Chain A
Amino acid sequence: MVSLLCCGPKMAACGLVLSAWGVVMLVRGLRGREGSEGPGPERIYRLYEQVSYNCFIAAGLYALLGGFSLCQTRLNKRKEYMVR
């Protein structure tokens, strides 16, 4: 169990905040792209779709990172309690 605890409490908190922000912003970017109207040609449409997919993937990765940071934070807290 100890080997799972690789980063300290502060880093875990940073990771958590970063992931939360990332998920929110990138999902917003996804929604923004999808909702854009465009009288332009189809190429632009496809580009926008691609970008929105990328945003979605990145958001997913950040969600994973967020989960990881959450685990680390919890383990850190448990370690603090155990020492006392």
Chain B
Amino acid sequence: MGSLFRSEEVCLAQLFLQSASAYSCISELGERGLLEFRDLNPKVSPFQRRFVGEVRRCEEMEKTFTFLQQELRAAGRVPEPCPESPRAPVAREALRVQEQSEQLAQELREVTQSRASLRGRLRDLRQYLHVLREGQRFTSLPAPLGSPPRPRALSEREPILDPSLHQHLERKINFVAGVIHPWRVTAFERLLWRACRGYLVASFVEMPEPMEDPATGESITWVIFLISYWGEQIGQKIRKISNCFHCQVYAYPESEASRTDVITRLHGQIQELSVTLEETEKYLAEVLDKVAQVLPTWRVQVQKMKAVYLVLNQCSFDVTKKCLIAEVWCPVQDLTQVQDALRQGSYQSGSSVECFVQRVPTSESPPTLIRTNKFTAGFQSIVDAYGVASYQEVNPAPYAIITFPFIFAIMFGDVGHGLLMFLFALWMVLYEDSPRLRQGTNEIWQTFFEGRYLILLMGAFSIYTGFIYNECFSKATAIFPSAWSVVTMANHSSWSSAYLATHPLLTLDPNVTGVFRGPYPFGIDPIWSLATNHLNFLNSFKMKMSVVLGIVHMGFGVILGVFNHVHFQQRHRLVLEFLPEMIFLLALFGYLVFLIFYKWIKFSAADSLVAPSILIHFIDMFLFTSNAENLPLYPGQVPVQMVLVVLALASVPVLLLGTPLYQWCRQRGLTVGAVPVQPLTVGEQEPLLEGQEAGNSVNTTTEDVESGGHSPDAKHSDFAEIFMHQAIHTIEYCLGCVSNTASYLRLWALSLAHAQLSEVLWTMVMRNGFVGLSYVGGVVLVPVFAAFAVLTVAILLVMEGLSAFLHALRLHWVEFQNKFYVGAGYKLCPFAFAPDTWE
């Protein structure tokens, strides 16, 4: 249950899997998602691994599935994700899936092909029909030489195309009829005219209905042309030209009767073909239905199978024992579950010998596993973004659940804005199970959605700090009556009307009895929002508050380091590091906090003229000087301060040299002494030394884990490294204390910026809406409020919110965590079947 406090214990284990039941065991483990497998064959190329054939087979099946999916998509169907997740298939099932999928793919290919050819044929027949019909209009006109409807004939004045007339001339009229693309009509005409001038009559007419172009698939209104000519050579020329223009030429029967004959025959053929096409389409729809039904399941199954085989490829094969050995990182808590899974797997595959798991000692640093739920996951992720915790290090996330929203709220304090943020997050949290919210594709929206609990807490805390700063959309709310009384001041100073007319600013003196009736019960008095020296008062308050909070936060960080020292059995660091660090921090900055509180309590408005300045006292403390005009806060202040400074300065060399000297003495005790003291295992020196010793995996010979046999030379260079490291740590800590304390002043800066922006928005935008004094003002107020709302959301909520978020994050990552956190670990990525991503 204390898993959020520090990461769980993770051990290295070996799985001994029988060849027969290896597949089902791994599949079972994958369903549970407990272990991270290590690659035992890192030097083997993917083509030489054991199960490369199976992986290749899976990939081929996936290719077939992609083809099927494309066909589905071309037909306009959307494949649905698989409702329940099927298990990885055994060899028999996989074979069946492969056969069926290939069969379906083959069927689909055939059906689409036949459909395409049927369609082509139908189109041809239809075009022929249209050609004949339109052509009939030209050729069956009576004697008058009137131009046929909508002709594009260039040759009206040429010999007519009426066959009856031409019979008089005893020349045979021949026809060429066909269909041409509309863009090529003019060029075609021109060429015909130039080539066969005078000996042909060409007429063009558009087809009544558009048809599909076989090449591009788009719908085009084709143009039917009918060319009547006489002479064989002209005919050949015309045919050649129409060939060049890719026209579809049809045989045009001459006599009326044969034409009608052909037309009726065409009708019949079209009818039959349509029926056949309908049947084909129906069959295609059936096949597609079948595919849509089984494809999602197959996909998931084959994905799982491939994942299992990839994991099996990482195991090593032990020839003597005829089994596969897998090396895994396993949480100690889950070892029984793993054994259970192995038992299930063996049972399912029907083998008699059971697979088992065995824990193996190691000196490598295991991965970090911290189990979170949906609430803590957000906070853990912002800690992990900086660095994953080292193995078994104290985890800053549980404290970040409270401190992060609180520090954000200090920079964002406004009741109205906090309430808006809270409601937005509440909506996301209440509807978090709705699929519409979960499947958002927008990345920015996903980021906000993942952090909904963060935003919820941030909004709630902002409402609280908003009440403390007494700001609601930059207006103060008087929940309790104000403690300042203007009436008393007016009566005391007897302000006359003339005085009021000439003095725009009036001072309320708290030293006059009755003007200031005591502190406001909760938060800042609302009268300050009417005061012109509002910022003077607020700045002092916020700066001191920031410093106090910063020192408390940093002190807490140092205290958390204690847990690390105790856990890793480094009690010497408690005395040699923690103690000097705390003394340094408290003697200097803890004293500052004390001064702040002392001055708030001890000094009041009565002695405000002679109140000492803390800043000057603090500076004098370091410089060992004194200022005559600055009265001491309490008697004996100067010697107390001197002692504190000396104490702080004395703790620096202890911090600098303590731990290295202790290590050195101990090493010397080791090498000189006759009986070697049991050395601490290397794992405990982990925070200091980054390097890792050789692991105790299967491929290496079993050697001593506790490697104490270092040569003195190696120890020397190690000592230099330790000393360097400690020097850096000391300098970083001491200088960091000063700079980080100042860094916390950003709490004041950002809250000031937020308050000012909010006020500007109010005065510049909203107040103008109240100007209109007639009832028209009410209508004007509507767009003004809309503008105010949009700007509030865009600038104050989004921009300021992101800014405050960033600064709060920085304060946590740098100022808080560098007091105790190392963050050099890596996460445990268990082998689990990822949910299917349907592209």
Q: With the chains together, A61 CA to B780 CA distance in Å?
A: 11
Asked if B789 and A61 make an inter-chain contact with CB atoms under 8 angstroms apart, the answer reads no
How distant is the Cα of A80 from the Cα of B681 in the complex, in angstroms? Answer: 66
Report whether B781 and A18 are in contact in the complex, using a CB–CB cutoff of 8 Å.
no
Name the one of B420, B487, B773, B786 contacting A50, with C-beta atoms under 8 angstroms: B773
CB under 8 Å from chain A, chain B span 209-238 = none
**Chain A residues whose CB sits within 8 angstroms of the CB of B521 once the complex forms:** none
Interface size on A, residues (CB 8 A): 19
- State whether A57 touches B785 (Cβ < 8 A): no
| Known contacts A61-B778, A61-B779; A54 and B785 CB within 8 A of each other | no
Q: Is the CB of A58 within 8 A of B782?
A: yes
Q: At the interface, yes or no: A25 with Cβ under 8 Å from chain B?
A: yes
Q: Per-residue 0/1 for A32-65: is the Cβ within 8 Å of any B Cβ (1 yes, 0 no)?
A: 0000000100000001001101111110111001
Q: Are B775 and A25 in contact (CB under 8 A)?
A: no
Do the beta carbons of B789 and A22 come within 8 Å of each other? yes
Check if A54 sits within 8 Å of B777, measured CB to CB. Answer: yes
- How far does the alpha carbon of A62 sit from the alpha carbon of B785 in the complex, in Å? 10
Verify if A21 is at the interface (C-beta below 8 Å from B): yes
Q: How far is the CB of B555 from chain A (nearest CB, A)?
A: 42
**B interface, how many residues as a size bin?**
10 to 19
Convert B768-780 into 0s and 1s, putting 1 for each residue whose CB lies closer than 8 angstroms to a CB of A. 0110110101110
Question: How far is B773's CA from A22's CA once the two chains are assembled, in angstroms?
Answer: 20
Q: Are B775 and A53 in contact (CB under 8 A)?
A: yes
- Set of chain B residues within 8 Å of A65, measured between Cβ atoms: 782
The answer, yes or no, to whether A26 is at the interface (CB within 8 Å) is yes
Closest partner residue, chain A, to B772 (CB atom) = A54
* Interface pair A57/B775, CB less than 8 Å apart: yes
A18 and B789 contacting across the interface, CB-CB below 8 Å: yes
CB distance from A33 to the nearest CB of B (A): 9
Contact partners of A53 in chain B: CB under 8 A: 775, 778
With a cutoff of 8 Å between Cβ atoms, the chain B residues found around residue A26 in the complex are 781, 785
Contact indicator B789/A56 (Cβ below 8 Å): no
Note all chain B residues with C-beta closer than 8 A to A21.
Answer: 420, 789
Across-interface contacts of B473 in A (CB, < 8 A): 25
CA distance A49 to B777 in the complex (A): 13
Closest residue on chain B to residue A52 by CB atoms: B770
Q: Which chain B residue shows the least CB distance to A39?
A: B487
Asked if B785 and A22 make an inter-chain contact with CB atoms under 8 angstroms apart, the answer reads yes
Q: CA of A75 to CA of B495 in the docked complex: distance in angstroms?
A: 63
Find B770's partner among A22, A25, A51 (CB 8 Å cutoff): A51
CB distance from B437 to the nearest CB of A (A): 13
| Assembled-state Cα–Cα distance A56/B779 (Å) | 10
Is B778's CB under 8 angstroms from A58's CB? Answer: yes
Q: How far is the CA of A21 from the CA of B785 in the complex (A)?
A: 10
Output the least CB separation between B342 and chain A (Å): 47
Neighbouring A residues of B778 by C-beta, 8 Å: 53-58, 60-61
Structural contact, B781 and A54, CB atoms closer than 8 A? yes
Which residues of the partner chain B approach A62 to less than 8 Å between Cβ atoms?
A: 782, 785
List, in ascending order, chain B residues with CB within 8 A of A50's CB: 773, 777
- B457-503 contacts to A, CB under 8 A, are 473, 487
Residue-wise interface mask of B (28-59) relative to A, using a CB-CB cutoff of 8 A (1 in contact, 0 not): 00000000000000000000000000000000
Distance of B94 from chain A, by nearest CB (Å): 36
When distances are taken between beta carbons in the complex, the residues of chain A under 8 Å from B779 are 57-58, 61
Residues of A within 8 A of B487 (CB): 39
The minimal Cβ–Cβ distance linking B539 to chain A, given in whole angstroms, is 27
> Which of B420, B773, B781, B789 sits near A55, CB closer than 8 Å?
B781
Q: Which residues of A contact B781 (CB under 8 A)?
A: 26, 54-55, 57-58
Contacts known (A26-B781, A61-B782); A54 close to B775, Cβ less than 8 A: yes
- Within the complex, the shortest CB–CB distance from B424 to chain A, in Å, comes to 9
Q: Which residue of A lies closest to B424 (CB)?
A: A17
Q: How far apart are the CA atoms of A65 and B781 in the complex, in Å? A: 14
Q: What is the CA–CA distance of A50 and B777 in the complex, to the nearest angstrom? A: 9
A26 to B770, CA, bound (A): 11
- Give CA–CA (A33, B376) in the complex, Å: 44
Interface string of B754-777 (1 = CB under 8 A from A): 000000000000000110110101
Q: Which of B778-811 contact A (CB under 8 A)?
A: 778-779, 781-782, 785-786, 789
Q: A18 to chain B: which residues have CB within 8 Å?
A: 786, 789
Report A-chain residues with C-beta under 8 Å of the C-beta of B770.
51, 54-55
Q: Which of B420, B487, B772, B777 has the most CB of A within 10 A?
A: B777
Interface residues of B in 630-676 (CB under 8 A from A): none
A58 to chain B, nearest CB (A): 4
How far apart sit A6 and B648, CA to CA, in the bound complex (Å)?
A: 72
Chain A residues near B777: list those with CB within 8 A: 50-51, 54, 57
List which B520-565 residues lie within 8 A (CB) of chain A: none
Looking at A21, A25, A26, A39, the one whose CB has the most chain B CB atoms below 10 A away is A21
CA A65 to CA B487, docked complex, whole Å: 44
Per the bound structure, the CA–CA distance linking A51 and B767 in Å amounts to: 10
Closest to B790 in A: A18
**Within the assembled complex, what's the spacing in Å between the Cα atoms of A51 and B777?**
8
Min CB distance B69 to A, Å, is 22
Check A47–B773 contact: CB distance below 8 A.
Answer: yes
CB distance from A18 to the nearest CB of B (A): 6
Nearest-neighbour CB distance to chain A for B715, whole angstroms, equals 68
Which residues of the other chain, B, contact A25 by a CB distance below 8 angstroms? 473, 785
- Min C-beta distance of B773 to chain A, whole Å: 5
Closest to B774 in A: A50
Question: Which residues of A are found within 8 Å of B775, using beta-carbon distances?
Answer: 53-54, 57
Which chain B positions have C-beta within 8 A of A51?
A: 770, 777
Q: What is the distance, in angstroms, from B388's C-beta to the closest C-beta of chain A?
A: 39
Most buried by A among B473, B779, B782, B789: B782
Q: Chain B nearest CB: distance from A74 CB in Å?
A: 17
Q: Quote the shortest CB–CB distance from B70 to chain A (angstroms).
A: 25
Beta-carbon nearest neighbor of A55 in chain B: B781
Q: Least Cβ distance of A51 to chain B in Å?
A: 5
**When chains A and B are docked, how far (Å) is the Cα of A25 from the Cα of B781?**
12
- 8 A Cβ contacts from B277-316 to A: none
Report the minimum CB–CB distance from A48 to chain B (whole Å). Answer: 10
What distance in Å separates the Cβ of A71 from its nearest Cβ neighbour in chain B? 18
Closest to A61 in B: B782
> B796: shortest Cβ distance to chain A, in Å?
14
Task: Please measure, in the bound complex, the distance between the C-alpha atom of A50 and the C-alpha atom of B773, giving whole angstroms.
Answer: 6
- A26 and B128 CA atoms in complex are apart in Å by 75
In the complex, what residue of chain A is closest to B777 when comparing beta carbons? A54
Q: How far is the CB of A67 from chain B (nearest CB, A)?
A: 14
Q: How far is the CB of B496 from chain A (nearest CB, A)?
A: 15
For the complex formed, measure the closest distance between the CB of B54 and the CB atoms of chain A, giving whole angstroms. Answer: 42
A61 to B772, CA, bound (A): 16
Q: Closest B-chain residue to A22, C-beta based?
A: B785
Nearest CB in chain A: distance from B571 CB, A: 58
Which B residue sits closest to A17, measured CB to CB? B789
Residue of B nearest to A21 (CB): B789
Q: In angstroms, how far is the closest chain A Cβ from the Cβ of B790?
A: 8
Minimal beta-carbon separation of B835 from chain A (angstroms): 25
> Distance in Å from the Cβ of A24 to the closest Cβ of chain B?
10
A60 to B487 alpha-carbon distance, docked (Å): 37
9 A-B contact pairs sorted by A residue (CB < 8 Å): A22-B786, A26-B785, A47-B773, A50-B777, A54-B769, A57-B778, A58-B769, A61-B779, A61-B782
Closest 4 A-B residue pairs measured CB to CB?
A: A57-B778, A58-B781, A54-B778, A54-B777
| Chain A residues in the interface with B (C-beta under 8 A) | 18, 21-22, 25-26, 39, 47, 50-51, 53-58, 60-62, 65
Given contacts A50-B773, A53-B775, 7 further A-B contacts (CB under 8 A): A18-B786, A21-B420, A54-B772, A54-B781, A55-B770, A55-B781, A57-B778
